């Protein structure tokens, strides 16, 4: 492929950036100017002064659950291509079932460990 073949992509990128920049400029020029103040700039505006700080701390269990979700979500990303290509690989004589069962067994062992260690329990 030559560089000229990428010209439509370059035009589309420039057009998208130009439209985005144009929208920002037009909204800045014609948009309503906000009034700033102590109460207006507070995290929760209801007409009254804030009683507590807007910075709250999250429980560590929230982050653990989020990391576990991302971990298993990424694992599913590895399983989807395998399900789509399993027949072709098996027909070509490539043994793919064993490694994927091993991979799934490791995931299941990790899930059992998480359940037994109480990583997914919110009460304790």
pLDDT in tens, 17-44: 999 999 999 999 998 777 777 766 666 6
CA–CA gap between residue 79 and residue 104 (Å, rounded): 9
Residue 94 in tokens: 């490539």
Question: What would the pLDDT profile of 61-78 be if each residue is shown by its tens digit?
Answer: 888 888 888 888 888 888
Half-sphere exposure of 96 (CA within 13 A, CB side): 16
Q: What is the pLDDT of residue 89?
A: 84
Are 119 and 64 spatial neighbours (Cβ–Cβ below 8 Å)? yes
Question: What would the pLDDT profile of 79-114 be if each residue is shown by its tens digit?
Answer: 888 888 888 888 888 888 888 889 889 989 988 988
Of 64, 76, 67, nearest in space to 103 by CA? 76
Residue 113 in tokens: 């460990």
Half-sphere exposure of 113 (CA within 13 A, CB side): 7
CA–CA gap between residue 25 and residue 53 (Å, rounded): 34
Are 78 and 68 spatial neighbours (Cβ–Cβ below 8 Å)? no
Q: Is the dihedral of CA 95, 98, 102, 105 positive or negative?
A: positive
Q: What is the pLDDT of residue 97?
A: 85
Angle at 92 between CA 86 and CA 98, to 5 degrees: 50
């Amino acid at each position: 492929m030559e560089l000229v073949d990428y010209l439509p992509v370059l035009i589309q990128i420039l057009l998208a950036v130009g439209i985005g920049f144009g929208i920002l400029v037009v909204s800045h020029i014609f948009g309503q100017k906000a009034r700033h103040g102590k109460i207006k700039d507070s995290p929760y505006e209801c007409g009254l002064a804030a009683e507590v700080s807007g910075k709250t701390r999250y429980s560590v269990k929230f982050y653990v659950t989020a990391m576990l979700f991302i971990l298993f979500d990424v694992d599913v990303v590895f399983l989807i291509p395998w399900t789509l290509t399993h027949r072709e690989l098996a027909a070509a004589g490539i043994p793919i079932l064993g490694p994927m069962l091993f991979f799934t067994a490791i995931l299941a062992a990790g899930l059992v460990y998480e359940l037994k260690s109480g990583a997914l329990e919110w009460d304790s």
